[in-house]
A and B are shown apart, each in its own frame.
Chain A
Amino acid sequence: GNSVTQMEGPVTLSEEAFLTINCTYTATGYPSLFWYVQYPGEGLQLLLKATKADDKGSNKGFEATYRKETTSFHLEKGSVQVSDSAVYFCALTGGSYIPTFGRGTSLIVHP
C-alpha cells in the first residue's frame, strides 16, 4: 500500500533560518503530493501541491519539488518566521480514494 514518511520533530529554528522538512513516499502509479499545515486548535490547510514529476509547488515562501527518482517531496523555506510555527503534514493521493498522510512534523520558530 501507499505510505508517507516524514522526518520526526520537533524542528526548532531561530527566526530567519532556513527550513527543510524531509518527506519520502511509497506509492503505486503516479500520485499527487501535498503539504498541509495545521495551526493549534485548527484543521489542516493545504500549503502546496504537485501533481506530476518535476513539478514545484510553492506558496507563502514555501516550496517543494516532486522528485520521482528519489520518491521525495521535501518542504523548504528560505527564511522562517515565528508565525510559521505549526505542524506540517506531507500527504499523497493516488491509486485509490484514500489520502495517505505522514505523521506530521512540528516546527517551532523562536524570535
Chain B
Amino acid sequence: KAGVTQTPRYLIKTRGQQVTLSCSPISGHRSVSWYQQTPGQGLQFLFEYFSETQRNKGNFPGRFSGRQFSNSRSEMNVSTLELGDSALYLCASSPSDRLNEKLFFGSGTQLSVL
C-alpha cells in the first residue's frame, strides 16, 4: 500500500507570492491533517479534514487555507507569503475519525520564502 505522498518536495518562493501544496493520503484514509514544522515552534497543527469537511483549525491567520476532495486528496494554500512561512509542511492521514488512531505522515514539503 502506498504511503502518504506530498508534492512538491521542495519549493522556493518570494514574499507576496502564493503557494499550493498537495497531499495524497493512504488509500482508504478519510482524515487528512496538516502541520507546520519549524525549529523554533516545533510541530503546529494547521487544520484537519474529514470527508471533505474541515473539522478543526489551528491558530494560523486566514492566509492559510485548505480543502479536501472527494477522493480524500487534500491541498493547502498559503497566500501573500511572508519570510516566517518558511517551514516544513507535513501532511498526515488517518483511517478513521477515532481519536486514538495513529497518524501516517508524508515526508513533507520544504518551503523556503525569500
CB within 8 Å of B: which residues of A? 31-32, 34, 36, 41-46, 49, 51, 89, 93-104
- Asked if A98 meets B56 with Cβ closer than 8 Å, knowing A43-B108, A89-B43, the reply is yes
User: When A and B form their complex, what is the total count of cross-chain residue pairs whose Cβ atoms lie within 8 Å?
Assistant: 58
Contacts of A100 in B (CB 8 A): 45
Contacts of A43 in B (CB 8 A): 4, 90, 92, 105-108
Cross-chain pairs A/B with CB under 8 angstroms, 20 sampled: A31-B99, A36-B103, A36-B105, A41-B107, A42-B107, A43-B4, A43-B105, A43-B107, A46-B104, A49-B100, A89-B42, A89-B43, A96-B56, A97-B56, A97-B97, A97-B99, A98-B48, A98-B58, A103-B41, A104-B42
Given contacts A42-B107, A44-B43, A99-B103, list 20 more A-B pairs with CB under 8 A.
A36-B103, A43-B105, A43-B107, A43-B108, A44-B90, A44-B103, A44-B105, A46-B103, A89-B43, A94-B99, A95-B99, A96-B56, A97-B48, A97-B99, A99-B33, A99-B45, A100-B45, A101-B35, A103-B43, A104-B43
